[in-house]
Amino acid sequence: MQKKNTGKSCKAFYFFVSEYECKINKREGGKETVSCSMVMSVSLNFIFPPPASIVVSAMTVISFVSMAKVGFSEIRGNHLNYSKFWNVNTTGRRQIKLSSKAGMLMLYTPAFLAGFASFWIFPHEGVRSVMLQSALTLHFFKRIIEVLFVHKFSGGMLLDSAIPITLSYFLSTATMIYAQHLSQGLPEPPINLMYPGIVLFLVGIVGNFYQHYILSKLRGKGEKEYKIPKGGLFGLVISPHYLFEIIEFYGVAFISQTLYAFSFSIGTTFYLLGRSYATRKWYLSKFEDFPKNIKAVIPFVF
């Protein structure tokens, strides 16, 4: 679409909207005004045009809505049953319990394999694709290593929770890589976020690992009790590992620059906001001396 005119009011749109049409209206008395209409409001300067794929479009909505919904459920006290909340609000019926280690390996292995296999399924698709495939594969590989060698678990995980989380990680990884594949040949977004994305991803993954390491040092061999974490960013927020996970996934979205990747990252943010809110409430209920100024996940704010 041709940019016919750039009036003052259109300039505000210009950063976000690459395709718009403006026309000059002449009022009585000869005064000119400019009116603009967005022609394709979804065609953003920093996102690839969404591919014509029903699967990717549906997943864009499903990922965002389902993760945001589960985040709000956490705030309302309906938890996914793993870690501190593995046996909270379980219904009367018999449930299958996995060890935390087995459950966590179940969550991450299919997504890791999807990322790993993508190097063979979609080879030679350019730097951006390789960066996305590498970031996702590395993320899930790191989680598997942490589950095997870093975390010291005390509880379990219910199969009812493990199944939807496993599906969510696997499907979102596969969809993100597939959406990138469908963006091949499309014009690159005018604003390239890939390099800031790589920086965000690295800050996120290193920060996340460091906070996990601090948590693992709270327990000696065989110990199972919970303590108030100290060090790192634990003096500011009770879930700094979630904060770094959020940063990491915005890094992934910036590398990818597809609508799906942003939808998944925003959905993840809502889920982790909800889970961290529930976690802070849990600490307040378990420890009388828990400092009230420690927020959930965003320092000084939330």
Question: Quick one: which segment of 27-35, 40-48, 213-221, 250-258 binds ligand NAP (CB under 6 A)?
Answer: 213-221
Distances in whole angstroms, Cα of residue 285 to Cα of each of 7, 21, 70, 290:
56, 56, 22, 9
Report the C-alpha gap between 170 and 25 in whole angstroms.
52
Report the C-alpha gap between 249 and 14 in whole angstroms.
26
Q: Which helix (H) or strand (E) holds 34?
A: strand 32-38
Report the C-alpha gap between 92 and 103 in whole angstroms.
21
Report the C-alpha gap between 155 and 283 in whole angstroms.
17
Closest CA to 45 of 20, 22, 17: 17
| Of positions 72, 122, 210, 226, contacts ligand NAP by CB under 6 A | 226
The number of angstroms, rounded, from the C-alpha of 19 to the middle of its chain's C-alpha atoms is: 28
Interaction mask 69-88, ligand NAP, x per CB under 6 A: --------------xx----
| Of positions 208, 256, 257, 263, contacts ligand NAP by CB under 6 A | 208
Question: Quick one: which segment of 1-9, 176-184, 211-219, 289-297 binds ligand NAP (CB under 6 A)?
Answer: 211-219
Nearer to ligand NAP, 2 or 89 (CB): 89
**215 lies in the site for ligand NAP, by CB under 6 A:** yes
Nearer to ligand NAP, 42 or 61 (CB): 61
**281 lies in the site for ligand NAP, by CB under 6 A:** no
What is the closest distance, in whole angstroms, from the C-beta atom of residue 129 to ligand NAP in the complex?
21
Nearer to ligand NAP, 38 or 284 (CB): 284
The footprint of ligand NAP on residues 137-176 (CB under 6 A) is 151-155
What is the closest distance, in whole angstroms, from the C-beta atom of residue 162 to ligand NAP in the complex?
12
Report the C-alpha gap between 73 and 82 in whole angstroms.
15
**219 lies in the site for ligand NAP, by CB under 6 A:** yes
The pair of structure tokens assigned to 265 is: 């990252």
SS3 label, residue 170 = helix
Place of tokens 């990884």: 173
Residues that bind ligand NAP (CB under 6 A): 83-84, 100, 151-155, 208, 215, 218-219, 226-227, 229, 241-242, 245, 268, 271-272
